[in-house]
Amino acid sequence: MSRIGKKPVAIAKGIEVSVDGSVIVAKKGKLEKQLETHGRVGIEVSENEVTFSRIGETKESSAYWGTYRSLFQNIIVGLDQGFTKSLEINGVGYRAAVKGKVLNLQLGFSHDIDYPIVEGLEITVEKNVVTIKGSDKQAVGQAAAEIRSFRPPEPYKGKGVKYSDEHIVRKAGKAAGK
């Protein structure tokens, strides 16, 4: 039995939720997010919460029950508060700057890296910290992972791009010969 699927999703103020067949639509102002369930779960919308129910008694239906509930919860949180990821850039001469719709990264290569900012995301840079904000949890995490992948942190000096809450396990350098 899914512990996650049982919990109702509270609808924040200012968000309108409607069901159109197997599609759940959440709106806040001009932003609109949809979740297609493909008829795998039952959906009930009351005044201030949405509950999900299983269609069958199989393991697959139980998995879908918790998954779609979590996906819809992320949509509600994204519309209400939004999601944020922070990346730190460490290294001599490593820097980042936002130029229009492009994040320009200088990460010790012979060339600059231009990362196009996806529609719906907001990227800001302060000193050596790149902050990514948006209403879609998956898009925010994907952008952060792509930026980090350009120069992941190395274990000897800690140079590179890392998540702000990530801990880099440092290694000792070469041992001196006897």
Residues 65, 101, single domain; the answer is no
The answer to whether residue 170 is domain-embedded is no
Q: What is the pTM of this model?
A: 0.88
Mean pLDDT on 93-122:
95
Residues 68, 103, single domain; the answer is no
Residues 97, 159, single domain; the answer is yes
Decide: 118 and 139 in contact? Cβ < 8 Å: yes
Evaluate if residue 109 carries a pLDDT over 70. Answer: yes
The pLDDT value recorded for residue 153 is 95
The sign one gets for the Cα dihedral 67, 70, 71, 72 is: positive
The pLDDT value recorded for residue 98 is 96
Evaluate if residue 178 carries a pLDDT over 80. Answer: no
Residue 81 pLDDT grade (very low, low, confident, very high; cuts 50, 70, 90): very high
The pLDDT value recorded for residue 59 is 87
Residue ending a domain, among 65, 80, 95, is 80
